[in-house]
Amino acid sequence: MFVSCGDALFDLFALPPETKGRIALEGHVGGSPLNVAVGLARLGNQTGYLAKNSSDTFGQRIAEFLKENGVSSNLLVPTTRNSTLALVSRRADGSADYGFYISETADRSMTLAELPKSLPREVTCVHVGSYSTVTDPTAASLLALVRRERGGRFVSYDPNIRPSIEPDLDRWREQFGNFSAAAHCIKASDEDIAALYPRMSAESFAADRISGGASLVFVTRGPKGAMAFSANGRTAQAEGRPVEVVDTVGAGDTFAAAMLHWLGSAGYLSAENAADADLDAILAFSIAAAAVTCSRRGADLPRLDEIAVHGQGR
């Protein structure tokens, strides 16, 4: 069983036609770790989500969406605080630009006392990421969780840097150091690396994290594909797949979900053997999955049969 933890929000997209003084919005459940949870469930995995979730209209829809997608909500912590909202606009290349409404919102308010005393015995992997790892008290709570669980469960981490939420990059670097030290697998985009360490190459980034204890490091590069590095010295690189991009919302989360699914289904979801996994196969499967998401509006992550259409299956 996978447990993903952190952000729980709504992405709001402005709809055409634009009229002065008015705006029409289309909303989609979002949040990087939440997308990963949904992606894992759609790929056939038993999955739960740990977050503090609002009782407002948006929070109710989030809980319903998790249930509809087969994600257990048993670990959700209820609150009357408002839900986080993200206003999403698109750049000319189809990539997403985010503006967040985050003051004292639900998913940023989880305390240490609200963490579960223990996770279900069947949990094999804990995934964390994005702004919930830098905004306290949720950040401190999730850090305590992964430090507690690292010895007995596989920990996955995706920093998913969002300076529009926390503009202090030194805070991101501090928390990246803390969370990556507790992670067995790290997935970061080239944009994340450029924000954290502007003069560091992907190869140096991966070597640094592996020397810090990670078994696997993946670096996504948008349309250029992705790279993979393992603690046993192996590397792999794959090009992106040609696709008519509708938008890129959720593409990185899709890659992370597909990567974790591949590791779990192939029996490499452990600190002891993760570094021996087939990096080329992981990249091919995860890039194919991300391509499906890029061809659709919003974070609409694929199921196994949809990835198989692209010639990849696991």
Does residue 92 surpass a pLDDT of 70? no
Q: Report residue 86's pLDDT band, with 50, 70 and 90 as the boundaries.
A: confident
DSSP classification of residue 81: S
**Of the candidate ranges 82-86, 97-101, 113-117, 235-239, the one whose mean pLDDT is the lowest:** 97-101
In this prediction, residue 94 carries a pLDDT of 59
The partner residues of 133 in beta bridges, in order of sequence, read: none
Residue for token pair 């699914």? 261
Per-residue pLDDT reduced to its tens digit, 176-211: 999 999 999 999 999 999 999 999 999 999 999 999
CB 49 within 8 A of CB 72: yes
Residue for token pair 């192996």? 234
Q: Report residue 138's pLDDT band, with 50, 70 and 90 as the boundaries.
A: very high
Apex CA 86: angle with CA 156 and CA 223, to 5°? Answer: 60
Amino acid (one-letter) located at 251: A
Per-residue pLDDT reduced to its tens digit, 99-108: 888 889 999 9
Does residue 216 surpass a pLDDT of 80? yes
Per-residue pLDDT reduced to its tens digit, 268-293: 999 999 999 999 999 999 999 999 98
Does residue 309 surpass a pLDDT of 60? no
Per-residue pLDDT reduced to its tens digit, 141-153: 999 999 999 999 9
Ordered structural domains, the chain, with CATH: 2-8+31-81+107-308 (3.40.1190.20)
Question: Which whole number is the average pLDDT over 290-313?
Answer: 80
In this prediction, residue 21 carries a pLDDT of 80
Give the mean pLDDT of the chain: 92
In this prediction, residue 210 carries a pLDDT of 97
Neighbours of 162 (CB within 10 A): 21
Amino acid (one-letter) located at 193: I
In this prediction, residue 95 carries a pLDDT of 65
Per-residue pLDDT reduced to its tens digit, 242-257: 888 877 788 999 999 9
Annotate 226-294 with DSSP letters as a single string. EEEEETTS-EEEEPPPP---S--TTHHHHHHHHHHHHHHHTT--STTTGGGS-HHHHHHHHHHHHHHHH
